[in-house]
Structure 1
Amino acid sequence: MAGARTDHVPPDILDGPPEPRRPSWAEDPPDPLHPEGRSDEPLLVARSAEGDEEAFAVLVQRHAPTLIRLAARLLGARTEAEDAVQEAFISAWRRLPQFQGRSSFGTWMYRIVTNRCLNVLRRSGTTAPLEAAGDVQAPEHTVSPPRIAEARDAVRELREALGLLSAEQRACWVLRELDGCSYEFIAEAVGISQEAVRARVFRARRRLTRVMGDWR
């Protein structure tokens, strides 16, 4: 239904029966930076900007899994990630009439979520280990008990090292190494220059390489 906009997100958009908890995301949803089969998205965004709650609900359901995965990588906890994404959607709902469409809706939401997570990390002054990042895992080919234990120790040390990175280093590393974003996109999302992004990614890689070198 299209009509006058309100300043609140319809309560049934983000609420609903909780999905079963899984140890990691078994399937990666489509990358919002490279959408496929989403020719209806501009129409959904336009209808949402006019106050169509059902259209916005479709956008939320479509993009929430990827955005929660991103937020979990940045914040280190699924619960905090869900809160950050819900707040990001509330912000997006209120700002949709100003959305210019210079990028896709998914890219726009990526920036909003990244900035919200960065604000959380900067306020806390610390970052948590990447326990929610399913990408950091022990090698599956490790079969002997000693090698399994060694691999698990290495993964734990890697996660702890990621937790010691600064908020911007962590965001830049996650967006570049785990999500494959361009330096240009990261610079805009984080609010720094491309040169600064490259420097932060380099420092993060160097620190992680030192940690990995201890057990390699």
Structure 2
Amino acid sequence: MGPTDADLLAAHRAGDEHAFGELVSRYRAKMWGIAARTLQHPEDAADAVQEALVSAYRSAGSFRGDASVRTWLHRILVNACIDRIRQERRRGTVPVAEVEPRHQRGDVGAEVVTRLSVERALAALPAPQRVAVVLVDVQGWPLHEVAEILEVPVGTVKSRCARGRVRLAVLLGHLREEER
């Protein structure tokens, strides 16, 4: 069994050049998944992950240990994603044209259409609901950890998820009708 996350962070703070890289290798894929599902564009997701890791690298000395290193890293990422969502709203965006396949190309075509529909629906949720739904329903995080990451009570996470799910059901209702 290797060093714990806390051990790696302590080693990084003590000057170990490889410790932070080990933390990155442990969490990069999960962080990418959260960012990719929270933000609309892969480039924005990559930028958010990079910003979060740079921020964590620079602020490692101020880590107090109130939360796990994993939770701390994901909190920084969620903040980076929310900042990008806010910037996007200020810039204004051009809505993505509706994608309607000319003909059904089997499972692959249906899967692509479904994936695009889900991505658009997630993007339509307010940022707090989107982040909660992605962390709980897509990534499978426990409610208490999501509450810790978002710095809100567990009940708030539950209500954000519930509201987000209701909104997603409305936005994705057409997928159910297509199955019939």
Distance (whole Å) between structure 1 residues aligned to residue 9 and residue 28 of structure 2: 15
Does the 8 Å contact 1:127/1:166 carry over to 2?
no
CA gap of 1:154–1:68, structure 2 versus 1, over 3 A, is closer
CA gap of 1:88–1:211, structure 2 versus 1, over 3 A, is closer
Residue 196 (1) aligns with residue 156 (2): yes
Does the 8 Å contact 2:136/2:142 carry over to 1?
yes
Residue 85 (1) aligns with residue 45 (2): no
CA gap of 1:188–1:41, structure 2 versus 1, over 3 A, is closer
Q: 1:55-204 maps to which residues of 2 (within 5 A)?
A: 55-125=19-89, 145=105, 152-204=112-164
Cα deviation, 1:56-109, whole Å, max 9, x if unaligned, reads: 222223322221221111112222222212221221122212223343322210
Bigger relative contact order, structure 1 or 2 (CA pairs below 8 A, ≥6 apart) = 2
Distance (whole Å) between structure 2 residues aligned to residue 109 and residue 185 of structure 1: 12
Distance (whole Å) between structure 1 residues aligned to residue 94 and residue 57 of structure 2: 29
Does the 8 Å contact 2:56/2:73 carry over to 1?
yes
Letter of the 1:165 counterpart: L
Cα deviation, 1:115-165, whole Å, max 9, x if unaligned, reads: 111121123227999xxxxxxxxxxxxxx8577755654443333222211
Distance (whole Å) between structure 1 residues aligned to residue 157 and residue 85 of structure 2: 17
Pairs aligned (count): 166
| TM-score scaled by length of structure 2 | 0.76
Letter of the 2:88 counterpart: S
Distance (whole Å) between structure 1 residues aligned to residue 56 and residue 110 of structure 2: 44
Does the 8 Å contact 1:114/1:171 carry over to 2?
yes
| TM-score scaled by length of structure 1 | 0.65
Letter of the 2:44 counterpart: E
Q: Percent identity?
A: 33
Letter of the 2:161 counterpart: V
Letter of the 2:27 counterpart: H
Q: Which residue of 2 aligns with 1:31?
A: none
RMSD over aligned Cα atoms: 2.8
